[in-house]
Amino acid sequence: MPERAFIRLSLFHCTAIAFFLFAVALHYDPASGFTRFIYFGDHFTSTRLPEVTRTDPFVFHDSDGYDGQFYAQIATSPLLANPGLDRALDSPAYRSRRIGLPAFAWLAGLGHTRWILQAYALANVLAWLALAVLLLRWIPTSTTTARLAWLGCLFGVGVMMSVERALTDLPAALLLVIALHFAERQRRGSAGVAFSLALLTRDASMLGGGLLLPADRADRRQWLRAAGVGALAALPLVFWSIHVHRRFPGLPNGDAGIFALPFSALLGKLQAIWHAIPQQGWIRSTVQLLSITGLCVQFLLLLALARSAWRQRWWRVGAAFALLFAVLGPLVWEDYTAAARTVIPMTLAFNVLLLRDRWWSFPVCLVGNLPLLHGVVYLLRPSWPSLP
């Protein structure tokens, strides 16, 4: 692809980006800014850091809130020096491992709590915009299938959930894509730095380590170099984990229920959706079932390409997250959107690899990107609470 196509934004791109920014603006509150994204819940008001409470962030009433509220509080003290973090975090050792996004928010907020919270709330928005442009390197939207694939990458329910609740999934996926971009250009050092930042943002990013590997499995020298880059990239996470362990002794208690036997939790979720139809109605249940169908199609395509696509870095990254998709446990599938955001790299790889001028590309792309239906609804829901 010509280099200039990498930064060219057509009317189609600009319209999609404008729609996204419009939806983001719906979350703005004159009193609390964009802190609605962080999803503070009033059930944790008594344990929240006092300096955070004094900024009067947006708080959801009669709610536990969501994970972003803990990472946002870490952002006010990224070295974990604040003794109040022991009570403010639901699982200090578990949350503190993912320091990348909180550290970015602290830097962007210049150390001021109010600015830090705004920076943290909007970090996913910036990551979305960066990904929208970066994906043009692999998805030139010159065909209907390509346009759908680009939208599927950006408006899938997993990406939208990460944006709408200020989570670490999308920023970590963006850093993996940046690392892959550098790796394709044989810039190993830059790829290693981006991969290291991805690990610090979300430790599950280690599944994307295949992007560092050479295409030729018989080239031992290149494999040794890739192993060296990977080891160096992992060192910051190792040192940080040691610091976290010293600060919060004991084992993290946030991992239980994340993994299960292959597809057992998925089947359990499908059964739960079926039994819940009388309570939540056909529309909501159908939206969920269509999105899960799309995720399964993404998994199946990556599985089907296993014999022919090893040389492609995108497949190596996507296949690793496809395997993760298969073994996700009941804690993740309790809300299927959490499963979708956990495997964002699988969705990205599916859409990139699909565009190979195959006659069946469009129908597979259409079904595989069904999660974008719920994704758009998810982002618009703050202004229309009745949406599913």
- Calculated CA dihedral for residues 9, 15, 16, 21, nearest 10 degrees: 110
Give the rounded distance of the alpha carbon of 43 from its chain centre. 26
| pLDDT at residue 253 greater than cutoff 80 | no
The pLDDT of residue 251: 66
The pLDDT of residue 309: 87
Which of the four pLDDT bands, split at 50, 70 and 90, describes residue 255?
Answer: low
Q: 88 and 49 in contact (C-beta within 8 Å)? A: yes
Long-range contacts of 364-368 (CB under 8 A, 24+ apart): 364/297, 364/301, 365/145, 365/148, 365/149, 365/152, 366/148, 367/293, 367/294, 367/297, 368/152, 368/294, 368/297, 368/298, 368/301
Which of the four pLDDT bands, split at 50, 70 and 90, describes residue 3?
Answer: very low
Residue 41 region, left (φ>0) first, then alpha (ψ -120 to 50), else beta? beta
Distances (CA, A) of 79 to 38, 73, 95, 199, 247: 20, 12, 13, 17, 10
Q: What share of the chain is helix, strand, coil (3-state, %, to 5)?
A: 70, 0, 30
Which of 375, 349, 304 is CA-nearest to residue 139? 349
Q: 318 and 250 in contact (C-beta within 8 Å)? A: no
Helices (H), 185-276: 188-201, 220-247, 264-275
Pairing of strands 40-41, 59-60: parallel
* Residues 209-252: tens digit of each pLDDT: 999 999 887 788 989 999 999 999 999 999 999 999 999 997 66
* Residues 13-33: tens digit of each pLDDT: 999 999 999 999 999 999 999
The pLDDT of residue 1: 40
The pLDDT of residue 378: 83
* Residues 62-76: tens digit of each pLDDT: 999 999 999 999 999
The pLDDT of residue 7: 56
- Compute the distance between CA of residue 16 and CA of residue 268 in angstroms, rounded to an integer: 35
The pLDDT of residue 94: 93
Which of the four pLDDT bands, split at 50, 70 and 90, describes residue 337?
Answer: very high
* Residues 86-120: tens digit of each pLDDT: 999 999 999 999 999 999 999 999 999 999 999 99
* Residues 342-367: tens digit of each pLDDT: 999 999 999 999 987 676 799 999 99
Q: Strands of the chain (E only): list them.
A: 40-41, 59-60
Which of the four pLDDT bands, split at 50, 70 and 90, describes residue 377?
Answer: confident
- Compute the distance between CA of residue 112 and CA of residue 106 in angstroms, rounded to an integer: 8
* Residues 32-60: tens digit of each pLDDT: 999 999 999 999 999 999 999 999 999 99
- Compute the distance between CA of residue 169 and CA of residue 204 in angstroms, rounded to an integer: 9
**What is the mean predicted confidence (pLDDT) over 331-349?**
96
Which of 252, 360, 238, 246 is CA-nearest to residue 297? 360
* Residues 154-191: tens digit of each pLDDT: 999 999 999 999 999 999 999 999 999 999 999 999 99
The pLDDT of residue 175: 98
Which of the four pLDDT bands, split at 50, 70 and 90, describes residue 382?
Answer: low
Which of 347, 350, 326 is CA-nearest to residue 266? 326
Query: Can you give the pTM of this predicted structure?
Result: 0.95
Contacts of 255 (CB under 8 A, 6+ apart): 94
- Compute the distance between CA of residue 297 and CA of residue 61 in angstroms, rounded to an integer: 37
Which of 320, 77, 71, 35 is CA-nearest to residue 171? 71
* Residues 286-325: tens digit of each pLDDT: 999 999 999 999 999 999 999 888 889 999 999 999 999 9
